[in-house]
Copies of this chain bind each other. A is one copy, B any other.
């Protein structure tokens, strides 16, 4: 039974298991690197993490492909945060604290999904000049990710990054007294120069309203599909 054919097959099976662990580690690194680039408003580096047809979902709007991603990251966020300057910028902070990943690599090792969460610390020091009028001076933001990844030529890339904003809390007020004033990003581009290509069907409510962010994974113990009911 321990002939070389059997051993070769067992070795190949074990190599597949190792590849999936390596994939999980690579995706964790990729996502964490995304966060560190976001800290510094390094949006060219952010966009280069996406596959050519990769997309980001932000405020229920889909930005697909690198050109649309540039509209989201460089025009929309970059202008609001730092008027297009790459960071770190004097007196500006956009720290992305990323944590709590649940990663599932597909059986063929070529795609994967991840749930994760973020706590964002956003704002400006009082001594910073030239702040965007709609950017709060200091605000917390919490969000969930339900992302998809693809492995192309041995390299993991973001296929779809869906950031589901959960709540914002102005520092002076907290979440009890803050209403998140970030509705779905309408109208779409080109009617709005920072608009998405289109909206997802099921637009997400934001705080104090809530929407469940569907889980990509089944229950870890029962294996049952998890209800994704919305509130």
Contact = CB atoms under 8 A, between A and B. Distances in A.
Contact of A98 (B3, B35, B99): B99
Interface string A28-40: 1110110110001
B174 A171 contact: yes
A10 B10 CA distance: 12
Given A95-B166, A99-B99, A175 B121 contact: yes
Contact-residue bracket for chain A: 35 or more
A209 B128 CA distance: 10
A90 B2 contact: no
A126 interface: yes
A111 B106 CA distance: 26
A200 interface: no
Contacts of A95: 117, 142, 166
Nearest to A4: B2
Most buried by B among A22, A30, A87, A100: A100
Contact of A172 (B10, B174, B210, B226): B174
B29 A208 contact: no
A190 interface: no
12 contacts: A2-B7, A18-B18, A24-B25, A36-B102, A36-B215, A48-B221, A86-B229, A88-B231, A89-B210, A91-B208, A93-B207, A124-B176
Given A21-B22, A32-B101, 19 more contacts: A2-B7, A7-B7, A10-B15, A11-B14, A17-B22, A24-B25, A26-B220, A29-B102, A33-B102, A36-B102, A36-B215, A45-B226, A48-B221, A49-B220, A88-B230, A98-B99, A127-B179, A138-B176, A171-B174
